[in-house]
Amino acid sequence: MLDANDARVFDALVIGAGPAGTIIASALAEQGLKVQGLTATPLNTIWPNTYGIWRDELELLGLTHLLGHSWTDCVSYFSKGEVKHERTYSFFDKTKFQQHFLDICEKFGVSWVKGNAKLIEHQATHSSVTLTSGDVLQARIVVDASGYKPVFIKRKGDPTIAYQAAYGIMGRFSSPPVHDNQMVLMDFGSDHLSENDRKQNSPTFLYAMGFGDDLYFVEETSLSSAPAIGLDVLERRLRSRLKSRGIEVLEEHYIERCLFPMNLPMPSFDQPIVAFGGAASMVHPASGYSIGAQLRRAPDLAIAIAAAIQSETASPYEIAQAGWKGLWPDDCLRKYYLYRFGLEKLMRFDEAQLNHFFETFFALKTSQWSGFLSDRLTTIELIGAMLNLFAKSPNDVRWGLMQFLGTEGSLFWEFLKV
Question: Among residue numbers 120 through 179, which ones bind ligand FAD (CB under 6 A)?
Answer: 145-147, 151
What are φ and ψ of residue 304, in 5° steps? -65, -40
Q: Indicate the residue among 78 and 207 with the shorter CB distance to ligand FAD.
A: 207
Q: Does 354 bind ligand FAD (CB under 6 A)?
A: no
Q: Indicate the residue among 144 and 359 with the shorter CB distance to ligand FAD.
A: 144
Mode of pairing for the β-strands spanning 249-261 and 163-173: antiparallel
Distance linking the first and last C-alpha atoms of the chain: 39
| Least separation in angstroms between CB 372 and ligand FAD | 15
Q: Which of the stretches 49-57, 216-224, 238-246, 340-348 binds ligand FAD when contact is defined by CB under 6 A?
A: 49-57
By C-alpha distance, which of 234, 40, 260 is closest to 149?
Answer: 260
Judged by CB under 6 A, the residue of 18, 37, 177, 261 near ligand FAD is 18
Q: Does 291 bind ligand FAD (CB under 6 A)?
A: yes
| Contact by Cβ (8 Å): 183, 70 | no
Judged by CB under 6 A, the residue of 13, 14, 40, 110 near ligand FAD is 40
Question: Among residue numbers 53 through 72, which ones bind ligand FAD (CB under 6 A)?
Answer: 53
For the chain, how are helix, strand and coil distributed in percent, rounded to 5? 40, 25, 35
Residue 126 Cα to chain centre, angstroms: 30
Contact partners, residue 183, CB within 8 Å, separation at least 6: 71, 73, 74, 75, 89, 208, 209, 210
Q: Does 35 bind ligand FAD (CB under 6 A)?
A: no
Q: Does 49 bind ligand FAD (CB under 6 A)?
A: yes
What 3-state class would DSSP assign to 174? coil
| Contact by Cβ (8 Å): 29, 35 | yes
User: Which ranges of 245-349 would DSSP assign to H, the alpha helix?
Assistant: 291-309, 316-327, 330-348
Q: Does 261 bind ligand FAD (CB under 6 A)?
A: no
Q: Indicate the residue among 145 and 242 with the shorter CB distance to ligand FAD.
A: 145
Cα 391 from Cα 396, distance rounded (Å): 12
Judged by CB under 6 A, the residue of 117, 139, 141, 298 near ligand FAD is 117
Question: Among residue numbers 208 through 247, which ones bind ligand FAD (CB under 6 A)?
Answer: none
Total chain residues near ligand FAD (CB under 6 A): 30
Q: What residues make contact with ligand FAD under the rule CB under 6 A?
A: 15-21, 38, 40-41, 49, 51-53, 116-117, 145-147, 151, 256, 258, 260, 277-279, 283, 289-291
